[in-house]
Amino acid sequence: HLAYQPKVSTLTGEVTGVEALVRWRHPQHGDVSPSIFVALIEEAARTSELLDTVMEMAARDRRRYRALSAMPDVSVNISVLDLDDEELPRRAQKLLCSAAPAEAWTFEVTETALIERQPAIASRLAQLRTHGCSLAIDDFGTGYSSLSYLSALPIDRLKIDKSFVASSFSDANSAVIIEAVISLARSLGLHTIAEGVETEAQRRFLRQQGCEQIQGFLVGRPMPPEAVGAYLKALC
């Protein structure tokens, strides 16, 4: 099933979108961490099946729940492993655009593996963007992320990894990295989102640095689709 976590503007406090997070509740073992079951799916080379399932569920939820239907943006995570699939843009358009315009969807590219065929990956992302979807690099600054992505891939947003946000007041280097990423993104015309924001002090720091959006427990925990409407009403 999917849980939805809000993204909020640092300037206005308004909800700018939600991220669709996949969850799995095993009948015997209860809730299984995504870090466990997603890794197993990747090892089995079945990430495309997971992505199709997530897109189907996200589209279903947007048709079923008014708050999600009216949401300016819903983002879906996609592994770089799926970007080798030539049929992905066609399937994405068929599954997602049945529920909302392409402009109301974002793909967040997670760097679970090294991009070995960068030209082909860039071409696939360009196709998704041509259809109208936005593109973000998730957890930027960790894993296999590289500055070369910023010039080679047609992305719109950078998501600052939560590890930097968590240590921004205890580690001077983390604060400097956050400042540098935001400055670099601004120079390249990219938007920035900070993940894992849990304190008001972190929010103030990110706003002062020019980070446009935040995501984390401070502004909203992941919630079932039927709870999004009540969450939005509580903000009013």
List average pLDDT for each run of 10 residues in the chain, which is 236 residues long. Answer: 98 97 94 92 92 97 97 94 88 95 94 63 89 91 70 90 94 95 95 97 97 98 98 92
Contacts 24+ apart (CB under 8 A), 171-178: 175/205, 177/141, 178/205, 178/206, 178/209, 178/211
Nearest to 227 by CA among 102, 67, 103, 16: 67
pLDDT of residue 77: 94
pLDDT of residue 42: 87
User: Do 84 and 78 meet the contact criterion of CB atoms below 8 Å apart?
Assistant: no
pLDDT of residue 71: 97
User: Which single residue is written with the structure tokens 């980070």?
Assistant: 211
Nearby residues of 39 by Cβ (< 8 Å), 6 or more positions away: none
H-helix or E-strand spanning residue 20: strand 15-22
pLDDT of residue 11: 95
pLDDT of residue 115: 60
pLDDT of residue 34: 92
pLDDT of residue 175: 96
Nearest to 42 by CA among 12, 8, 81: 81
User: Do 142 and 163 meet the contact criterion of CB atoms below 8 Å apart?
Assistant: yes
Q: CA–CA separation, 117 vs 108, rounded Å?
A: 18
Nearest to 71 by CA among 229, 236, 233: 229
**223 DSSP 8-state letter:** B
Q: CA–CA separation, 98 vs 105, rounded Å?
A: 12
